[in-house]
Structure 1
């Protein structure tokens, strides 16, 4: 059943963000919270080994294949598929899938004023950010700052003006925050003794390169087990063939399917 309603599209267009409440069931949220801790530990071990731990505490990138619950969550996004298709005016795919554990007084790159697409365009919307609240988001535990309407602002606002004017996005766990990736935003500082956890997924037009090769990570052989929605969103319909044998195949078997524009 779709949770899409017209006011979400109106808010996404006018203010640049909207919150869809109660997208994810409580039991799945519990499972995701349990999975996020080992996912973060695995990435911290790699970053420590490679000497790239600076300014990234609590962030876990590309968790899709870590645990079945992450795929289960991605399936939940089919409920807002009409809204996503309106935003992109067509098909879309997963660009990144990460998690964030915001601990007491932590400071990372996510706490700086930023946007998640490096260029500004008014001609087309290329990227959509989503944030799944795994805990209640409150002002005290670091609710996200978003400067409403700034998706039409190409230049970065100065920090003082941003933090004075930005909205704080609060909501119950299981809610979904959607925002235009052109918008200026920042993670809030957690002033409580409990972690504030979230999953952060971005989606793009299918012709954008994914931050990681999700079809290969997930496994080509596993595509047959996926729903049509998951095959599309994971990126199985927007792959690049790597050989002439993969290129010269019947239309229905092509790596890059029709409608991926």
Structure 2
């Protein structure tokens, strides 16, 4: 397959052609290994918190190994977003400014069957050539055939029809990639996590970026605090959604442009 490139050699022409033909692209050696270890350590603590809530709310079986909404003031997430990995590609794909829709992780464990192993796409409505969302996976452990490397059905981003299970597993490619790699893929692409048959964890960050008018899975500005946004760089304010908030009353609505909740250039 011709969808694997060095992060340092990426360019928009190659990105365009590869995303059109395959629907997914691999950039190797994108994340330095010391930062990967920081992320892994943070996931251990974050998983304990989320697992307790999942079990208490009766959804533990389906959610085992999944961590959602890792945005907080005191973890790796803000540092990660501030590095703006693949920013040019994301802006190009979404035709302008973008925001974070979600940032989570999957810890693929032996003998566990979380929902991410089902054949699925990450946007519920098929959008065809109008691109609303793009996915990013950050590989934290080498993906192998044995530990559940993700299945991607190349070209399936062009079809609204969910593939038959037999056809999918006979035709899909496996993302056999090294840790530190970034995988970008069209949110219309059909894919599924593989089954981990080893005794080791297979970890990956999963995130989605959208055009700013698309509703976030969680209100990150409200989660972090509106005042906290004043401490952030303009880039982080944009990515986290501080520039595309909704007013909740007329006083917030009737404001000069520079003070409006929903800023210009947000689509």
Q: TM-score range by the shorter chain?
A: over 0.9
- The secondary structure found in structure 2 opposite 1:40 is helix
Q: In the alignment, which of 132, 136, 147 is matched to residue 126 of structure 1?
A: 132
Consecutive aligned runs of 4 or more in structure 1 exceeding 3 Å deviation:
1-4
Q: 2:188 aligns with which of 182, 189, 194?
A: 182
Is 2:248 the counterpart of 1:242?
yes
Given candidates 16, 19, 29, the residue that maps to 1:12 is: 19
Q: How does 1:96-245 map to 2 (within 5 A)?
A: 96-245=102-251
Match of 1:53 in 2: 60
Deviation, structure 1 residue 66: 6.5
Check the 8 A contact 2:42/2:75 in 1, yes or no: no
- 3-state DSSP class of the match of 1:82? helix
The offset of 1:239, in angstroms, is 0.3
Counterpart of 1:35 in structure 2 is 42
CA positional deviation for 1:79: 3.7
Contact 1:96 1:201 in 2 (8 A): yes
Q: Deviations over 1:229-258 (max 9, x none)?
A: 111110001100112222122211111011
Displacement of 1:9 in angstroms is 2.8
Inter-partner Cα distance in structure 2 for 1:152 and 1:215: 34
Query: How many residue pairs were aligned?
Result: 260
Q: Distance in 2 between matches of 1:17 and 1:235?
A: 25
Aligned residues: CA RMSD: 1.6
CA distance in 2, matches of 1:163, 1:79: 31
Please report how far the alpha carbon of residue 114 of structure 1 lies from its aligned counterpart in structure 2 after TM superposition. Answer: 0.5
User: 1:242–1:96: structure 2 CA closer, same or farther, 3 Å change rule?
Assistant: same
Cα distance in 2 for residues equivalent to 1:80 and 1:14: 19
TM-score (ref. length: structure 2): 0.93
Unaligned runs of 5+ in 1: none
SS at match of 1:139: coil
Instruction: Give the TM-score normalised by the residue count of structure 1.
Output: 0.95
Give 1:3 deviation, angstroms.
6.5
Counterpart Cα distance in 2 of 1:82 and 1:256: 23
Q: Secondary structure at the match of 1:83?
A: helix
Shift of 1:4: 4.1
Which residue of the other structure, out of 76, 82, 107, is the alignment partner of 1:75? 82
Whether the 8 Å CA contact 1:24–1:73 is kept in 2: the answer is no
Measure, in 2, the Cα distance between the counterparts of 1:49 and 1:79: 35
